[in-house]
Every structure is written in C-alpha cells, then in structure tokens.
Amino acid sequence: MAGETGFTFIELLIVMAVIGLLITMVGPYLIVEDPLAATARQFVRLFDELQTAAADTQLVWRVRFDLDRRLYWVTVVEAGDERQPMDHARWASPVLLPAQVRIQQISTMRDRQITGGHTMVEVFPDNRPEPFSIHLLDEAGNFMAVTAHPLTGQIAVTSRPPEEERQDVIDNRLRPLLFTGGR
C-alpha cells in the first residue's frame, strides 16, 4: 500500500490551521466599519487622552463643537487665554464627523440639551471631564450616547435612547419604607 497517493490526516490539520490563522489575521480588515460606533469610540478615545493631557499639563482642555457644521476641535486654556494646542498635531485642526453621523444633542451642566450652534465640554486638571452626554445618530436612525459619569468622570457608551433608560429605579426592599400608604 505504499503506492497510494493522498494527504494524511496530519497534513490536512496543518493546512486547516494555517487557513484559520490567515482568516483571523485578515478577517477584521475585511469587515465594514460602522461609522456610528467608530465615532463613539473616537470620542471615548479623545476624552481619555484629554483627561491624561489635562492631568499632565495641569490646564483646562476644551472640546468645542459646531453642531450645525458637524465639527469639533480641541482647545487648551492657559492663563485665561484659549488657544489651539499646536504641540499636539492631532488636535491642531477641526475634525469633521463622518457624513452618515450627526450629533443629535449635547447636554452639559452648563448647557442643557443643545441641538444646534456651538457648545463645549471641559476637561479639568483633576483628571475629570465635566459631566456630559453626547447623543449620536446615523442616517438609519441608530442611536449611541457617549456620557461622562458626574462623580467618577468615567466615559461610557450606550446604544439605548434616553427614553428607554429608567432614572427612578427604587429597590423593592425600600418601597415599603418610602411608600407607607398615607400613614
């Protein structure tokens, strides 16, 4: 039987392993990127980097938004003067959002639910941004929100519109103590 031709089981396993390795390396580059999720990740990365920059420089950094033109840019406040950070090339010029994505609204402690015009979000030297919520929409009506927690400054992303979030959750164990039926 030495004259039989074909592949052994080991050879097939090796070929399958090589093909699997190639697919795992090349596959992520073939997937089409969702512009809404990419924009949300971009904002998370931006605010994370600005928190570090604000702590390092002990200066207030601002992200300014022009909601009508779908632009945002970074400025730094030094000795009361606001300027663009030329020493950080990535932040030296305004950034245009992808054509499919728009900012529905931005809420901060200073400006509540801004849907047009100009607004800003500040990042302070104590490594925290001011509490904010940036609501993003794409052409298909998909929603994402990027928010900063008011106490921790942690940046979070959610895909649920604010109408679906429950703000008044009371633990069932506390209900009898709070609502005593008019006693």
8, part of any domain: no
177, part of any domain: no
84, part of any domain: yes
pLDDT at residue 40 in the model: 94
The pLDDT tens digits for 21-65 are 998 888 877 776 789 999 999 999 999 999 999 999 999 999 999
- Tell me how many domains the chain contains: 1
- Expressed as residue numbers, the domain containing 69 is 35-163
Task: Supply 155's token pair.
Answer: 């940046």
Q: What is the CATH number of the domain that holds 112?
A: 3.55.40.10
142, part of any domain: yes
Compute the distance between CA of residue 122 and CA of residue 13 in angstroms, rounded to an integer.
56
Task: Supply 145's token pair.
Answer: 């929100």
The pLDDT tens digits for 119-159 are 999 999 988 888 999 999 998 889 999 999 878 888 999 98
The pLDDT tens digits for 61-96 are 999 999 999 999 999 998 888 888 877 667 778 999
